[in-house]
Amino acid sequence: MRFLEKIPYALKRLLFRISPALAKTLGVDFRLRAFSRMFLEQEIFGYINQQFRRGAGTPAARCLFIGLDKHNWHYDRLLDLDFYSMDLNPRNAVYGQANRHVVGSATELSAYYPPRSFDVVVANGLIGFGLDTEEAFDQLMFECHRVLTDDGVLVLGYNDKPDRLSFRVEQAAGFQAFKTFEPGIPGMTGARHVVADKFQHCYVFLRPRRLGYAVDAVGLARAA
């Protein structure tokens, strides 16, 4: 439905207000044309769809997307997984799917989801945009660790710039609860990809550590 791309933004918003279900059926979106978003929507989501594709008769893999708003409400249409979402702002709940969206904090995932609930967690654009301290980052990471399956994937995205970061992400205790891995996405030569624009947006691919590592009940990383 490429003709929808030519519809003015205001008309798209009006259609969404009238009926979000109809807007979704017609393929309306409010996507940002930033390079970092395009890399996420094309390369990263393509990788996730390929890696977590399941055959007929098998329950679909489950993905939790943290930080839902109008600019990414179409992501459930791009991913071939059961799509769940969370955002702290109650006003953004309208963009989530019924019974699959939670209004809450990313530092309290285990208050809403049982352990090992998700095969994929995407936490993009949180650090430096409300989740600003190393302590809060650690809690986010420990919570992601709890709700991911043993062979699950965490895609962490953030602007790697001093004006947004007050700590070293890779040196934080919460980061050590994971191991990095190279996803094999064309154009990537490691576990980390930095988009070459003024925002220096970085994506890191991570899997939970299980052997010789544990996360205790209060969210402290320690050797097992």
CB 69 within 8 A of CB 125: no
**pTM for the full predicted model:** 0.87
Helix ranges restricted to H, 63-123: 75-78
Whole-number Å distance between alpha carbons of 188 and 173 = 25
Cα-to-chain-centroid distance, residue 158: 11
Which uninterrupted H or E stretch holds 196? none
The number of CA neighbours under 13 Å toward the Cβ of 149 is 12
Q: Are strands 192-194 and 178-180 parallel, antiparallel or unpaired?
A: unpaired
Q: How far apart are the C-alpha atoms of 32 and 100, rounded to whole Å?
A: 23
Q: Are 159 and 203 in contact (CB under 8 A)?
A: no
**Which residues, in sequence order, are CB contacts of 137 under 8 Å at separation 6+?**
127, 131, 167, 169, 172, 174
pLDDT of the residue at 80: 95
pLDDT digits (tens, 9 = 90+) for 36-66: 999 999 999 999 999 999 888 889 999 999 9
CB atoms within 10 A of CB 181: 13
d(CA 128, CA 157): 11
- Could you tell me if 86 and 28 are in contact, meaning their C-beta atoms sit under 8 angstroms apart? no
Q: What whole-number percentage of the chain has pLDDT above 90? A: 65
Q: Which domains does the chain have, with CATH numbers?
A: 30-209 (3.40.50.150)
Average pLDDT of the chain, as a whole number: 88
Residue 12 is inside which H or E element, if any? Answer: helix 9-18
Strand partners, 27: none
Mean pLDDT on 84-102: 95
Give pLDDT tens digits for 119-153: 999 999 999 888 989 999 999 999 999 999 999 99
Task: State pLDDT tens for residues 154-182.
Answer: 999 999 888 888 889 999 999 999 999 99
- pLDDT, position 11: 81
Per the CB < 8 A criterion, the answer to whether 174 and 139 are in contact is yes
Rounded Cα–Cα distance for residues 208 and 149 (Å): 8
Predicted confidence at residue 217, as pLDDT, reads 42
